[in-house]
Amino acid sequence: MHLGLGAFHRSHQAWYTQHASDAAEWGIAAFTGRRPDAATALSTQDCLYTLVERSAGGDSFEVIGSIVEAVDGANVDRLCELIAANETAVVMLTITEAAYGLAADGTFDADSPAAADDLRALSAIAAGGTGAPGSPLGRLVLALAGRRDSGGGPLAVVSCDNLSANGDVARRAVLGLAAALGTGLGEWIGANVSFVSTSVDRITPRTTAEDIEEVAEQCGYSDSSPVVAEPFRNWVLSGDFPAGRPRWEEAGAVVVDDIEPYENRKLWLLNGSHSILAYAGQLRGHSTVAQALADPVCRKAVEDFWDEAANHLNADGLAIPQYRQALLERFGNARIAHRLAQIAADGTTKLRMRAVPVLMAERAAGCTGAGSALMLAAWIDYVATSQDFQDPLASEIQAANTLEGGERVRALLRLVSASIGNDAAIVDLVQGLCGSLTANKAAAAVPTRP
Ligand code: CS2
């Protein structure tokens, strides 16, 4: 099963499942998250779709068939029916970082927008009422209660969102919500549900109308739902699968005991620099990752942040110089039009994973952390100027934006992380960097068009 049927799931976990050596024994029932129409579009073509692998040199095409059922996420009855089934072994999640209801200190926040409505809905159900939770994790909790009642047995929940220790985060969120259903559900989940942590990687921009036309021209058939991705892919997993899983390792996935070094390498070096490029790049007039990276000011901000992050990536075998070099090549692939606006969404949640740990580690080591602080400053400048940023805390950001100077910086940083927003020296550091990315904008040679 998969919750969060979007382009990334289709370029990543669905690809690995198709290429597992025992692929014929498995099929994915995928539920939509924010785009219910994705289920209708896929269903009308038997859930088959084209994966366009886009390298700097050209495109190649492959039909993916590992998804066997595509369902509107609001169809909670079907979700409950499938999760209750004994044959269901794995529930994968790509539901976005913001959907886990994390507080600014990283714990589960029952008052977060993601959790509060679900807790109300689940409590009403526990009291004998009807209705259903509206978020993927709330729906999952209801379905897990059904699996317990039907004796469906243990299974694995596999978070594939860009959060550190994402399995633990998923466990905390699921148990936090399960408490509303009472009746020992938390104990059952503790004994029967394994929460697997993973690090996932494959750059997958949103599909465009031109991509759809290209598939029609090159493949000779009409596909309303192709997905475009870079050739690179990576999947590292850690945890138990009590009911089995596809042999993803035969398709290149890596199973490890200690996932933390891999997660940090990916979250800090790839996602962290993506966030710098998203905010700094848009402030400087760019719209794609490749354009922003070609701007020396953005490139320097990325390299400075990487230098800081590398100080805290010391596990054996991480090959940081090679990883950085590969990222420069991946980001520089201008045939992948990865929109900065897409990456800029949900800054409060993303920066908590991408900037804060590096900044804290640098400060603890007696360094300034200016490279990580610049990511935060770029976001602060961006939310002041962007007309339409998306964030689970958008109204809190708007309220903070009405404040002035250091008060505004402090209020915004507190939305990302309490420990950072409450540290006067960090607030000063970030405030001092605000405006610096655009200060020399007129002087810089800034390419703004592909
Ligand atoms: C990006 C990621 O949108 C974002 O926040 O940083 O989606 C990134 O492209 C993927 O994690 C790459 O694996």
pLDDT of residue 182: 83
1 has pLDDT over 60: yes
User: What is the domain-level CATH number for residue 177?
Assistant: 3.40.50.720
Whole-number Å distance, alpha carbon 38 to ligand 1 midpoint, is: 20
Q: Is the pLDDT of residue 346 over 50?
A: yes
Whether residue 398 sits in one domain with residue 275? yes
Q: Which atom of ligand 1 is nearest to the CA of 274?
A: 6
Please indicate, yes or no, whether residues 114 and 7 belong to a single structural domain of this protein: yes
Task: Report the pLDDT value the prediction gives residue 418, as an integer from 0 to 100.
Answer: 93
By percentage, how much of the chain surpasses pLDDT 90?
91
pLDDT band at 179 (very low <50, low <70, confident <90, very high): very high
Measured in Å, residue 272 CA sits from the centre of ligand 1 at 9
Q: Where are the beta strands (DSSP E) in 47-140?
A: 49-55, 58-64, 67-71, 90-93
Cα-based distances in Å from 271 to 184, 267, 274, 291, 306: 38, 5, 5, 17, 11
Atom of ligand 1 nearest to the CA of 8: 7
> For residues 243 and 151, what is the distance between their CA atoms, to the nearest angstrom?
13
Give CA separation, 167 vs 71, 99, 196, in Å.
24, 14, 5
Say if 404 falls within a structural domain: yes
DSSP letter for each residue of 284-336: TT--BHHHHHTSHHHHHHHHHHHHHHHTT--STT--HHHHHHHHHHHHH-TTS
Report the domain count for the chain.
2
128/190 same-domain check: yes
**Could you tell me if 283 and 250 lie in one domain?**
no
Q: Which amino acid is at 358?
A: V
Per-residue pLDDT, averaged over 383-397, amounts to: 93
Asked whether residue 449 is domain-assigned, the answer is: no
Query: Distance between CA 35 and CA 384 in Å, rounded?
Result: 28
**How many angstroms does the Cα of residue 343 sit away from the middle of ligand 1?**
7
Q: Which domain, by its residues, includes 421?
A: 260-444
Q: Which residue has its alpha carbon closest to ligand 1 atom 3?
A: 343
Structure tokens at 97: 């970082």
Tell me the residue type at 70: A
d(CA 442, CA 42): 46
Ligand 1 atom closest to the CA of 350, numbered from 1: 5
Indicate if the pLDDT at residue 450 is higher than 50. Answer: no
- The answer to whether 34 touches 5, Cβ cutoff 8 Å, is no
**CA atoms of 74 and 40, how far apart (whole Å):** 13
271: Cβ below 6 Å to ligand 1? yes
Picking from 227, 255, 283, the residue at the C-terminal end of a domain is: 255
**Widest distance between CA atoms in the chain:** 67
Q: Is residue 450 part of a domain?
A: no
**Residue 113 has what pLDDT?**
75
- The whole-number pLDDT of residue 449 equals 41
Per-residue model confidence (pLDDT) at position 441: 63
Q: Using an 8 Å Cβ cutoff, are 9 and 49 in contact?
A: no
Residue 114, ligand 1, Cβ within 6 A: no
Residues 97 and 195 in one domain: yes
**Protein residue with its CA nearest to atom 9 in ligand 1:** 203
Closest residue by Cα to atom 4, ligand 1, is 343
Enclosing H/E stretch for 211: helix 209-219
Q: Specify if 19 maps to a domain.
A: yes
Residue 98 CB-half CA count within 13 A? 17
- CB of 198 closer than 6 A to ligand 1? no
When pLDDT is cut at 50, 70 and 90, the band that residue 47 belongs to is: very high
Tell me, yes or no, whether 298 and 177 share the same domain. no
234 lines ligand 1 (CB under 6 A): no
Give residue-wise pLDDT tens across range 416-445: 999 999 999 999 999 999 999 998 665 444
Pair 15, 52 in one domain:
yes
Q: Which atom of ligand 1 is nearest to the CA of 346?
A: 5
Tell me whether residue 62 is in a domain.
yes
Domain membership flag for residue 307 = yes
> Does residue 137 lie in a domain region?
yes
Judged against a pLDDT cut of 90, whether residue 106 lies above it is answered with: no
pLDDT tens-digit map of 203-260: 999 999 999 999 999 999 999 999 999 999 999 999 999 999 999 999 999 999 999 9
- Do residues 274 and 174 both lie within one domain? no
Smallest CA separation from ligand 1 atom 6, residue:
271
Residue 224 domain flag: yes
**398 and 273 in a common domain:** yes
CB-ligand 1 contact for 13 (6 Å cutoff): no
What average pLDDT does the segment 17-45 reach?
A: 96
* Domain termination site, one of 255, 288, 319: 255
3-state secondary structure of 272: helix
Distance 205 CA to ligand 1 centre (A): 9
Residue 137 has pLDDT above 70, yes or no: yes
Which of ligand 1's atoms lies nearest the C-alpha of 234?
A: 13
Domain end among 255, 275, 306: 255
Q: With contact defined as beta carbons under 8 Å apart, do 32 and 5 qualify?
A: yes
Residue-level pLDDT at 102: 86
pLDDT of residue 447: 45
Give the side-chain half-sphere CA count within 13 A for 317. Answer: 5
Q: Is the CB of 162 under 6 A from ligand 1?
A: yes
Measured in Å, residue 108 CA sits from the centre of ligand 1 at: 23
User: Which pairs with CB-CB distance under 8 Å and at least 24 residues apart come from 353-356?
Assistant: 353/97, 353/162, 353/163, 353/164, 353/267, 353/271, 354/267, 354/268, 354/271, 354/272, 354/275, 355/272, 355/275, 355/416, 356/416, 356/417, 356/419, 356/420
Q: For residues 205 and 272, state if they share a domain.
A: no
